[in-house]
A = this chain, B = another copy of it.
Amino acid sequence: MNPVSFFPENIKKALGKPAPGAWMPTIPPACIRLSSGYPEPSLIPVGPLQQATEQLLVEEKDLPLHYIGSPRTERLYTFIQERMAQRGMTASRHELLITAGASQALDLIARILLDEEALVVMEAPTYMEAIEIFRNYTDQLLSVPIDGEGLQTEVLEALLQKRSREGKPLPQLLYLIPTFQNPTGTSMSTKRRHHVLQLALTYNFLILEDDAYGELAFGARPTSLKAMDTENRVLYVGSLSKVIAPGLRIGWMAGDAAFIKAAAWFKKDLEHPYSQALIMTLLENVSYEAHLKKLQNRYEQKCRVLQTALQEAFGEQASWYVPGGGYFLWLHVPGIDAQAKLADALKAGVSYIPGEHFFLRQEEGKEYVRLSFSMEDEAAIVTGVQRLKSVLLD
């Protein structure tokens, strides 16, 4: 039997591409992990989850353990609606869908909107996994560079003008992480947010706003595209992974009811009733605002420590955008080949993600490194940077 003979063409094509994450060597246990976009272990509410479990199972017994049944699933919808409202976003019950993490939301949106002809525009650089998800549906991907003020909307506009002049297909979808972006930590300016919303109307495309890091603001939080969107052009994706715990896989999408209905159709019961009930119980017991403040302070402090260490170690030999929130710092070291240096870095005891994996055209990322300040503590971050210097400036 030849297994490949059973695959449709698009699957053969997908499997012909390098496997997701195959480039990443195993990280030695002793390694300081500046690669991992994981929350700080001490910030995961283990104790409260313990108590929430006890309360949930005493109060509801077997209910949350069936396919459906826990009243807390609906309460979680309400909680998300209220939290969005506090940030100026409105979503009716029919405009909201809880998903198994933000990544299920991205996959569902790609599934309902993209066929092999569909054109998707992304930021350069952008979230690695999003590139992989979209590539599962279409090869028509274009990127537009970002800078310290996020997506360069003038470049996008020029691209759209050129394509429509030349009668080329226009994008179906623009994928953005406008706030505390992964990997750069930058946010789109208000001016550019207005501009991109206007472009969506003029050129008739949808915007997928990935707001996975939006809650983790060190200072002022930019207004989300969803909150500024008067025409229902924005499909908003949120997540509790970075705020509570990734392992519970709770995210959501909000947008036009027609898209939510379609996404729900394909999601069916691929969701997590128990996780939903458990996280809702937790949210009833803790002050979300207080928990968030704690996260924001911790990550802001560690981000500051990372930048001081980088300044001391690299001086003029490296540069980066000052993150306004989130988990990541985007380090530019002119002249390096970050991927080529990775093996040495792991030997030296520090891990990072080479910049090339965040680009459609990998060569654009050669001199860049994504550093995460979320998981490791201050001491480890400082040591990690010293090891990083010894390797990257070697």
> What is the interface of chain A, defined by CB distance below 8 A to chain B?
1, 3-4, 6-11, 14-15, 19-20, 38-39, 41-42, 44, 46, 49-50, 53-54, 57, 61-62, 64-67, 69, 100-101, 103-104, 107, 111-115, 118, 129, 132-133, 136, 172, 204, 206, 231-233, 245-249, 256, 258-259, 261-262, 265-266, 268-275, 277
CB-defined contacts of A114 to chain B, threshold 8 Å: 8
Distance between Cα atoms of A65 and B38 in the complex (Å):
10
Some 11 contacts from A to B, beta carbons below 8 A apart, are: A8-B113, A8-B118, A14-B262, A14-B265, A15-B261, A41-B62, A46-B57, A62-B245, A103-B268, A247-B274, A248-B274
CB-defined contacts of A69 to chain B, threshold 8 Å: 247
Distance between Cα atoms of A42 and B66 in the complex (Å):
12
Distance between Cα atoms of A118 and B4 in the complex (Å):
15
Tell me whether A11 and B262 are in contact (CB under 8 A). Answer: yes
Tell me whether B46 and A247 are in contact (CB under 8 A). Answer: no
Tell me whether B15 and A247 are in contact (CB under 8 A). Answer: no
Q: Nearest residue in B to A232 (C-beta to C-beta)?
A: B1
Tell me whether A103 and B269 are in contact (CB under 8 A). Answer: yes
CB-defined contacts of A136 to chain B, threshold 8 Å: 265-266
CB-defined contacts of A4 to chain B, threshold 8 Å: 258
State how many copies of this chain the complex holds.
2
Other A-B contacts than A50-B53, A274-B275, 6 sampled, CB-CB below 8 A, are: A1-B233, A6-B259, A14-B262, A38-B67, A42-B62, A50-B57
**Nearest chain B CB to A155's CB is how many angstroms away?**
24
Tell me whether B233 and A101 are in contact (CB under 8 A). Answer: no
**Nearest chain B CB to A289's CB is how many angstroms away?**
21
> A206 and B6 in contact (CB under 8 A), knowing A11-B112, A15-B265, A66-B247?
yes
Tell me whether A10 and B115 are in contact (CB under 8 A). Answer: yes
CB-defined contacts of A100 to chain B, threshold 8 Å: 100, 270, 272
**Nearest chain B CB to A74's CB is how many angstroms away?**
14
Distance between Cα atoms of A256 and B44 in the complex (Å):
38
Tell me whether B9 and A115 are in contact (CB under 8 A). Answer: yes
Distance between Cα atoms of A7 and B54 in the complex (Å):
44
Tell me whether B46 and A245 are in contact (CB under 8 A). Answer: no
Q: Nearest residue in B to A137 (C-beta to C-beta)?
A: B8
Q: Nearest residue in B to A19 (C-beta to C-beta)?
A: B265
Distance between Cα atoms of A19 and B268 in the complex (Å):
11
The 9 A-B residue pairs with the shortest CB-CB distance, nearest first, are A3-B258, A8-B115, A65-B245, A65-B247, A44-B62, A247-B274, A41-B62, A247-B273, A53-B53
